[in-house]
Every structure is written in C-alpha cells, then in structure tokens.
Amino acid sequence: MFPFALLTARLLQNVGLGRTVTGQQTTQHSILFVTGTRADFGKLEPLATATRDAGFAVSFFVTGMHMLDRYGLTKLEVHRTPGVQVHEFLNQRAGDPQDMVLAKTVIGFSDFVKEHQPDLVVIHGDRVEALACALVCATNYIRCAHIEGGEVSGTIDEIYRHCNSKLASDHFVSSDDAARRVMSLGEASGRIHAIGSPELDFHAGPSGVTMPQVQTRYDIAFDDFGICVFHPVTSEMGTMGQQAAALFGALAGSGKNFVVIAPNNDPGSADIFAAIDQLPKDRFRVLPSMRFAHFSELMKNAAVMVGNSSAGVREAPFIGLPSLDIGTRQTNRAKSPSVFFADATDTGAIAGFLRDQWGQSYPRHDAFGGGSAAGRFAAILQQDTFWDAPLQKTFHDAAD
C-alpha cells in the first residue's frame, strides 16, 4: 500500500453520508466533474459513482470530444450514469487549434460556475479542457481537485498536467512517485493523496459483459486479435502521417487481426485517420469509441496492445496484457515487465513484438493501485479537514 495512502485506508472505516457537520449545521456538498474525452470519463466515472453513493450532489460538465459525432458522440455515455446531473457545452469546431479551444472553454465554464456555484470541481490529467477549468477555479477561488497529477510523459501533455497541479487546490495521484513530483512543485503534502489510478477500479473486477456480447455489439468478427490505439502527438504534427502509415503498415503486414480505436481530436488526427482508412477491412475493425465496460472486456481477451494510449502503459500491465508503446507520447510514464517500446517507423521491432508477445500473459502489475481508488477518494471528501483547508495557496519547499 502507498505510504501516502495509509491515512485514506483508515478513512474507509468511517464512511458516512456526503455531508460535513459543523456544530449543529449539516451541509451537502455539490461536486462537479469535468470530462472532455472518453478516456478521462473512464477515470472519473468510478469517482463520481462513489461520491454519489456517499450522498454528495454529483454533476458532470461535458465538453470536448464527447460532443463530436466523429468520435462517437460519447456524451451519451455520461448521460447513462444514474443519479447525476449532466450539463453540456460545445467548446470547439473541427480543426480548432488548442489555444482557441482553451479560450472558448474558459468563457463557457466561467459562466457556468457563476450560475451553479459548485463546492468542488474535479478535473483529470492533461487535457486543454481541464486546464481551462482549473484556471477558472483558481481565479474564482473555487476548490478544485486534480486527478492523476505528478505524472511524466512526452509532448505538451506534461506541461498542461503540471499547470493543472499548480492551479488546483487538492491532488489525488496514482502513485508515491507522482505524489513526490507534486510536492516538488511546491504543493502541501497534506493536500496530496495517493489513491491509485481510478480506471483500475473497473478492471479489478468482472466487466459485467461477456466477450460474445462485446463482439456482437461492435461487430467484431474474430476471436484472436490485438488492440491498437494511436493518438496524435501535437509537437510532431509534421510527421504524424508518416508515423501512422508506418505503424499501421506494420500491423497490416503481420497478417494478424486488430481492433482499432480511433484517435482523439488533437491536431494531427486527420493524418492518422487517413492511414486507418487504408487498412484491410477483413482484418481490422475500426471503432470511434467503446463503452468502458466493453473495452475492459476487450482488453482482457486481447492478444496484445499496440499504440501510444495511456491504457497501454497503465491498464494493460494491470491486466497482464503485453503492450508495445509507440513513440514519445508516453515517454517515462510507467515501466513494467509487460511494456515494450518502439518508434513508429521501426517496423522490425514492431514485427518482433507481435511475433514474440502475441498471446502472452504477465503477472498483474499493481504499482498504480489495486482497484480501490474510488472508495479512498470518497472517504477523503467525507472529512471536515478536506473542506476546511484554505484556498489561498503558499509554496511549500520539499524539505518543509
């Protein structure tokens, strides 16, 4: 168990309702979760469900990729969450640069929080929507919890992630290493909680669906398959088409079957879609997105995972699925015996991985928790000390 999480484990023994009590007054706190992609919703949904079940008033601010048809209109998945309110905001048109998306989200979210006045805003990770909402919270002195800060990776994502940590008032991180990095940014140790990665809560137990149900729902015609998820790297836009063509060419040349999940909407995605469109349709099933339970079951039955999604370096090792991390997007994000590395253009390394690792299984890697993040999160929010902490931040040297 993480040393930083020892306190939260003890808090689980005192789970009550989602209210704090001061003197004779009882207050129900409102918690707003910000989600812009199918990926961050998979991490936030367990936390939202746990806090809802603990008695908090829970709502979602839904924006970003969720609102776009090309990426599966995944706002519908958020609406399926029972017992929560859902608020939609369209923050972009196709092709909008990230700075414009940032500006639109700041304006929209600022108007929203002035009207709804949430007690806590929960953001995740490194997306531009999270950065916009964290900035609004900081300038308006709204309590903001950042999920999975302190991670390291490639490209501009890491810059956004560390900015979010500095803007947020509270931190729920995935590991002790991440906790130490957030402390090195000057954040107070008492506001940092190592709870593990929330998405592992899904993968730790049965998905609730069977593989035949997954195959029927998503028209997957093969039983022996790998998974590929390849996202744009915004700092490498000039070569994304070349990288995608090389990667998918290597997968096609292997003769193996793959389920391909479409890339996110970052600049450069059009070049990846162009490469995907050339894949042989009899061996490649391309999907805009999947329900999280179905994706969990898909991973548990896959032969390998290839690409640059965080799922390949976080969820795949937890499941024991061998994965090949492509390129720089997840650089230094995580290490485990089941994760291998290659450049997109290194077709020999890709072919060797598919030959040697196809269908292999590894012991579960639990450096990022064992599937109990949501309970720890809810337990911390049920403590008076969480809500009583001042919002005016000061820099804390690591030695303090």
Count Cα atoms within 13 angstroms, Cβ side, for 162.
13
Per-residue pLDDT at 214 = 97
Note whether 40 and 3 are within 8 A (CB). no
171: β partners: 146, 192
Task: Identify the residue whose tokens are 């096609």.
Answer: 252
Per-residue pLDDT at 27 = 57
CA nearest neighbour of 319 among 242, 230, 207: 207
Token pair listed for 303: 């032969």
CA nearest neighbour of 398 among 94, 119, 186, 129: 186
Q: Is the dihedral of CA 73, 307, 197, 236 positive or negative?
A: negative
Per-residue pLDDT at 39 = 86
Note whether 54 and 15 are within 8 A (CB). yes
| CATH architecture, domain 211-357 | 3-Layer(aba) Sandwich (3.40)
How far is it, in rounded angstroms, from Cα 34 to Cα 145? 11
How far is it, in rounded angstroms, from Cα 262 to Cα 276? 8
> What are the residue ranges in the chain where pLDDT is below 70?
1-27, 154, 332-334, 398-400
Per-residue pLDDT at 237 = 83
pLDDT digits (tens, 9 = 90+) for 132-162: 999 999 999 999 999 999 988 767 788 999 9
258: β partners: 226, 284
Q: Which CATH superfamily is domain 3-203+370-388 in?
A: Glycogen Phosphorylase B; (3.40.50.2000)
pTM: 0.81
Domain boundaries, the chain: 3-203+370-388, 211-357
Chain center to CA of 367: 17
How far is it, in rounded angstroms, from Cα 366 to Cα 275? 35
